[in-house]
Amino acid sequence: MRQLTAKGPNQVEWVEVPDPELTSPKAAMLRPVAVGVCDFDRGLVSGRYSTLPFPIALGHEIVAQVVETGAEVKTLRQGQHVILPLHISCGECAPCTGGHTNSCDARKPLSNYGLGAAGGNWGGGMSDLLVVPYADAMAVPMPEGFTPADCAALGCNLVDLHRTMQPHLQAFPDPHVLIVSGHAGNMALYGVVMARALGIRKIDFLDDDERRLQAAASLGATTVRMGQPLRKEGYPIVVDCGADPERLAIALASVAKDGVCTPVWPYPGTAAVPIGQMFRKNVTLITGQPHARAHMDPVLRLMAKHGFGSKSIPVEVLPWDSADQLFGRGEVKRIFVRDSLP
Is 249 found in the same domain as 117?
no
Quick check: is 299 in a domain?
A: no
Is 149 found in the same domain as 165?
no
| Residue 185, pLDDT score | 98
Pick 272 or 320 by higher pLDDT.
Answer: 320
Quick check: is 290 in a domain?
A: no
| Phi, psi dihedral angles at 50 (to 5 degrees) | -120, 20
Share of the chain above pLDDT 70, in %: 99
H or E, element range at 180: strand 176-180
Query: What is the average pLDDT across 44-55?
Result: 92
| Residue 340, pLDDT score | 61
Is 180 found in the same domain as 72?
no
Quick check: is 85 in a domain?
A: yes
Residue 342 has pLDDT above 70, yes or no: no
Q: Exposure pattern of 280-317 as b/e (b: 16+ CB <10 Å)?
A: ebebebeeebbbbbbbbeebbebbeeeebbbbbbbbeb
Is 267 found in the same domain as 325?
no
* Crossing angle for the helix pair 185-197 and 210-219, to the nearest 10 degrees: 10
- Average per-residue pLDDT in the chain? 96
150-184 pLDDT tens trace? 999 999 999 999 999 999 999 999 999 999 999 99
| Residue 341, pLDDT score | 47
Is 70 found in the same domain as 191?
no
Query: What is the average pLDDT across 295-304?
Result: 97
Is 149 found in the same domain as 73?
yes
Indicate which CATH number applies to the domain containing 112. Answer: 3.90.180.10
| Residue 283, pLDDT score | 97
Domain that holds residue 215: 159-285
| Residue 50, pLDDT score | 87
Is 115 found in the same domain as 217?
no
Query: What is the average pLDDT across 11-38?
Result: 97
Is 237 found in the same domain as 124?
no
Query: What is the average pLDDT across 41-56?
Result: 93
CA diameter of the chain: 60
Residue 81 has pLDDT above 50, yes or no: yes
Quick check: is 139 in a domain?
A: yes
Residue 41 has pLDDT above 50, yes or no: yes
Instruction: Enumerate residues 6+ apart whose C-beta is below 8 A from 199.
Output: none
Query: What is the average pLDDT across 202-210?
Result: 98
Quick check: is 101 in a domain?
A: yes
Query: What is the average pLDDT across 64-89?
Result: 97
Burial of 278 (C-beta count, 10 Å sphere; 0-12/13-18/19+): middle
Share of the chain above pLDDT 90, in %: 95
- Count of domains for the chain: 2
β pairing state of 140-141 and 130-132: unpaired
Please state, in angstroms and rounded to a whole number, the distance separating the CA atoms of residues 243 and 294.
24
Is 73 found in the same domain as 29?
yes
Length of the chain: 342
H or E, element range at 269: none
216-271 pLDDT tens trace? 999 999 999 999 999 999 999 999 999 999 999 999 999 999 999 999 999 988 88
